[in-house]
């Protein structure tokens, strides 16, 4: 091997590494656009069954069907915003999320009542709080900082919303747009298989995301009913937040349960701890557990079996691996990503024994 060949190899390797680095830098710079495209793709997959129904069953023109679907989705979004924004503005102080002093006093009060409930004297409690400085060490100022950051994010919401809706409209109207753009880099001999894969992925993921919407809706209804029965303030907001957190596999329900328990207790500060707060929180948490049981034994199996065609144990392992590799984001995208991978493997490597075993239900 000559020095010229070696130098060419080194230059080629450096060029490849530099090209990859530039590509990653470019993707990082346009990450907001990629996020818009991803959200628009999910939105189009959710709206796709509606478009198909309007076109095939009602014989409506494709463009008109897409416009009706987009207006329907915008109407749902507007309804959610009109429901939650005024509620948060008018009753936000009741949640003690915007008033840091009130939040700290409520937590201190709950702490004292909890200690007294277990038989510790009030003097010992006050002395213990002063000596430990547990509440002075807690940085409650993190909460307004977080809210300020949230407001900054919401400042760009209108631009992002317009971008998502614009992209989603064309994804629905020209359903082959994304597919045709990818075909540019696909060899001619693989085009038919690629088209089949894309079509099957769209069908499976449409059912999956629509299933997730119904999953959140079922949990929201259960949580809202429980919170309304026990007259918890801001029941709709709490129910929606806890149902939405369920999208994060395994971790989300734990956070949602903790959030529901804390907000139930803080909404009853001033009441007797043993006769009011403890029983009411216990009953609310029983309702939360019932919602989780319905979700785990009805909603999730139905979604996974009818949409992504995967065994629950298979899904569990995929989510765990996704979480280990990419954190919470990995857990959320694990199932749709794994489903797409399975479809592609079946289409291109159907003769492989392992692939055949994993994709036998597809």
Q: 270-302, pLDDT tens digit by residue?
A: 666 666 777 888 899 999 999 988 888 887 777
- Provide the pLDDT for residue 95: 47
Kind and range of the H or E element at 38? helix 31-56
pLDDT given for residue 84 in this prediction:
63
| Two tokens, residue 91 | 């009753």
Distance CA 149, CA 154 (A): 9
Tell me the C-alpha distance between 93 and 96, whole Å: 5
Per-residue burial over 275-311, b = 16 or more CB atoms within 10 Å of its CB, e = otherwise: eebbebbeebeebbeebbeebeeebbeebbeebbbbe
Residue that is written with structure tokens 């319905």 in the block = 294
Q: For residue 165, give Cα distances in angstroms to 175, 250, 273.
A: 15, 31, 49
Torsional sign, CA 183, 205, 255, 156: positive
> How far apart are alpha carbons 114 and 234 in whole angstroms?
24
φ, ψ at 218 (rounded to 5°):
-65, -45
- 3-state secondary structure at position 186: coil
How many CB atoms lie under 10 A from the CB of residue 100? Answer: 14
- Per-residue pLDDT, 133: 52
CA distance readout (Å), 42 to 26, 174, 352, 357, 362: 23, 15, 31, 28, 21
Contact between 288 and 226 (Cβ < 8 Å): yes
The whole-number pLDDT of residue 222 equals 92
Closest by alpha carbon to 247, among 207, 220, 267? Answer: 220
- The closest of 206, 179, 204 to 191, measured between CA atoms, is 179
With contact defined as beta carbons under 8 Å apart, do 284 and 227 qualify? yes
Domains of the chain by residue range: 14-175, 207-362
Helix (H, G, I), strand (E, B) or coil at 331: helix
pLDDT for res 115: 66
Q: Which residues of the chain have pLDDT under 70?
A: 1-4, 83-159, 175-178, 181-184, 268-275, 362
- CB 145, CB 42: distance < 8 Å: no
In a 13 Å sphere around the CA of 239, the CA atoms on its Cβ side amount to 26
User: Residue 81 to residues 65, 78, 93, 98, 354: CA-CA distances in angstroms?
Assistant: 24, 5, 19, 19, 47
What is the C-alpha separation between 261 and 133, in angstroms, rounded?
Answer: 24
One-character DSSP codes across 64-118: HHHHHHHHHHHHHHHHHHHHHHHHHHHHGGGGTSS-HHHHHHHHHHHHHHHHHHT
d(CA 176, CA 191): 13
pLDDT at 104: 62
Question: Quick one: which of 135, 327, 360, 325 has its CA closest to 250?
Answer: 327
Structure tokens at 362: 């597809």
Q: Give yes or no for a contact between 230 and 260, defined as CB atoms under 8 angstroms apart.
A: no
Residue 225 has a pLDDT of 92
Contacts of residues 191-198 at CB distance under 8 Å and 24 or more positions apart, as own/partner, are 193/347, 193/348, 194/347, 196/347, 197/343, 197/344, 197/347, 197/348
Give Cα 359 distance to the centre of its chain.
26
């Amino acid at each position: 091997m000559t020095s010229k060949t070696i130098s060419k190899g080194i230059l080629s390797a450096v060029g490849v590494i530099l090209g990859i680095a530039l590509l990653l830098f470019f993707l990082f710079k346009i990450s907001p656009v990629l996020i818009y495209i991803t959200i628009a793709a999910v939105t189009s997959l959710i709206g796709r069954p509606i478009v198909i129904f309007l076109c095939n069953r009602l014989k409506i023109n494709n463009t008109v069907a897409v416009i009706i679907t987009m207006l329907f989705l915008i109407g749902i979004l507007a309804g959610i915003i009109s429901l939650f924004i005024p509620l948060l503005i008018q009753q936000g102080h009741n949640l003690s999320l915007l008033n840091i002093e009130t939040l700290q006093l409520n937590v201190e009060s709950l702490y004292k009542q909890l200690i007294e409930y277990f038989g510790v004297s009030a003097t010992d409690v006050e002395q213990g709080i002063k000596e430990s400085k547990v509440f002075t060490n807690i940085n409650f100022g993190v909460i307004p900082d977080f809210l300020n950051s949230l407001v900054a994010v919401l400042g760009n919401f209108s631009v992002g919303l317009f971008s998502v809706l614009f992209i989603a409209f064309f994804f629905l109207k020209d359903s082959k747009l994304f597919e045709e753009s990818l075909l540019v880099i696909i060899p001619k001999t693989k085009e038919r298989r690629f088209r089949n894969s894309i079509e099957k992925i769209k069908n499976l993921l449409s059912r999956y995301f629509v299933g997730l919407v119904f999953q959140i809706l079922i949990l929201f209804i259960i949580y809202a009913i429980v919170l309304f029965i026990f007259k918890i303030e801001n029941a709709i907001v709490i129910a929606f937040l806890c149902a939405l957190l369920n999208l994060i596999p395994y971790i989300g329900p734990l956070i949602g349960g903790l959030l529901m328990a804390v907000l139930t207790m803080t909404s009853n500060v001033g009441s007797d701890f043993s006769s009011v707060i403890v029983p009411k929180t216990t009953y609310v948490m029983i309702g939360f557990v019932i919602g989780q049981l319905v979700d785990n034994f009805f909603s999730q199996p139905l979604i996974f079996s009818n949409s992504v065609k995967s065994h629950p144990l298979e899904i569990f392992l995929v989510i765990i691996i996704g979480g280990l590799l990419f954190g919470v984001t990995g857990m959320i995208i694990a199932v749709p990503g794994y489903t797409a991978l399975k479809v592609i493997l079946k289409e291109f490597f159907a003769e492989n024994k392992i692939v055949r075993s994993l994709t036998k239900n597809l």
